Structure 1
């Protein structure tokens, strides 16, 4: 067994969870914190000997993951989502990192499997710290979405990927982006960030150019074009909804006066 705790937060992840858990079935423990699944998430989880699943009312992305992290018994921990699969290459890197014990974290590339096809190997992937020493890492609880682990120590980029299967349709990706843009706009508003008409005007074309050309999504054919357009619209929505937050706040203040 790999002496590492895997922690996962779930909500109706049955479509992918079996593959997720198979990819980490040789880790010493897997902690699942579920927020109310009504599909077969619990049945799948209980079919794996190294998995413990429990319920926790939703505390937000960072809050929920912090609670799951606190349940981990090992010093080394790995975070996966319920629609992600650990690659054999990354698993080998994790085992070697634990054995060497020279660094504190791995920055892991996330390979988004959009519409059933993984990114070209030449596409520039997003990367996050997902594997780290528990004693060195924590979450910023002010982040409402796209939560990141903050590690006080040395981290290096891994070669192996985590495969993300959740973007199985355009509908699902757009629906998630609509939800996430709400949360990001609220977060920006609460942090006092001001809306900008210039940014609102430029963020969509600039994000498309970054996604399609700089991150080389054009190598993914028509899927890369669609993905880049959706990413650009997501960036636009965050800024537009920030304007909306300020408008609603002004109206509320006016009504109270």
Structure 2
């Protein structure tokens, strides 16, 4: 069987719990580039057991910076980005093969199916989607984005049918911890760009985001997990605005001295 002429690039840090499933899902791809930022678990041993994988160390450069460096190592015209806790679905793999063969578009916008507390979303839940598969020559990252980095594509993108399964939110503790970290980075990014916080947004953002997540994105179809996840998503939105207020407050206080 011929390998799929596409480079997969992944940035990792202690992803041993999921990495074997991740790499099994892309074992038919021509090459897999892993840029690791200091794993102390089984990440290296797992990576080195796959013949199409090349793993190397890179001190952490931020999400967009790290992925840009991994992307630069890719040798093929088509590239696919996965995180170390994500698995490519067979349906999306087939779409990728068909897209390469047809050679008519420049990217696929891929739905991300969050497997929260070990259970995938209902097929009727509205999923977040990002460009994860694209022509290397047509895509790049905005290095000013500290978190939720997106590939910017100069060309035609089409939404894919198949999913990428995201397994990292394995517990409420992990999801809350990630949101605390991400909200700090996002608030810092907004502060550095000179954005001002809003008291109206601070008051309204949490109930509005809960309604968006639970009803509009149809997380109510995921039972109690959907309710808990929507509450955490709403609190994440609140944290970003609250931390922007915090940073402005500290900045004003420091400027007095």
Same fold (TM over 0.5): yes
Shift of 1:54: 0.1
Where structure 2 has 5 or more consecutive residues not aligned to the other structure, the ranges are: none
- The answer for the alignment partner of 1:85 in structure 2 is 87
1:136 matched residue in structure 2:
138
**Structure 1 segments of 4+ aligned residues over 2 angstroms from their partners:** none
What CA distance in whole angstroms lies between the structure 2 residues aligned with 1:245 and 1:139?
26
- Residue in 1 that maps onto 2:175: 173
Match of 1:63 in 2: 65
TM-superposition CA deviations, 1:156-206 (whole Å, max 9, x none): 000000000000000000000000000000000011110000000000000
Mean Cα deviation higher: 243-252 or 65-74: 243-252
Alignment partner, residue 212 of structure 2: 210
Q: Normalised by the size of structure 2, how large is the TM-score? A: 0.99
**Displacement, 1:96?**
0.1
Q: Which residue of 1 aligns with 2:127?
A: 125
Paired residues for 1:1-12 under 5 Å: 1-12=3-14
CA distance in 2, matches of 1:191, 1:93: 38
Which runs of 5 or more structure 1 residues have no equivalent in the other structure? none
Secondary structure of 1:156's counterpart equals strand
Aligned length: 255
Q: Give distance in 1, aligned partners of 2:141 and 2:219.
A: 30
**Once the two structures are superposed, what CA deviation does each residue of 1:21-56 show, in whole Å capped at 9, x if it has no partner?**
000000000000000000000000000000000000
Q: Which residue of 2 aligns with 1:193?
A: 195
Structure-to-structure mapping, 1:95-174, within 5 angstroms: 95-174=97-176
Cα distance in structure 1, aligned partners of 2:193 and 2:139: 23
Offset at residue 107 of structure 1 (A) = 0.1
**CA positional deviation for 1:251:** 1.4
SS class of match (1:174):
helix
Question: What TM-score, normalized to structure 1?
Answer: 0.99
| Structure-2 residue corresponding to 1:243 | 245
Distance 2:142 2:114 in 1: 24
SS in 1 for 2:144: coil
Cα distance per residue 1:58-82 (max 9 Å; x no partner): 0000000000000000000000000
- CA-to-aligned-CA distance 1:131-155 (integer Å, 9 cap, x gap): 0000000000000000000000000
Of the three residues 12, 15, 37, the one matched with 1:13 is: 15
**RMSD of equivalent CA atoms:** 0.3
Tell me what 1:38 maps to: 40
2:225 maps to which residue? 223
Q: Distance in 1 between matches of 2:250 and 2:72?
A: 37
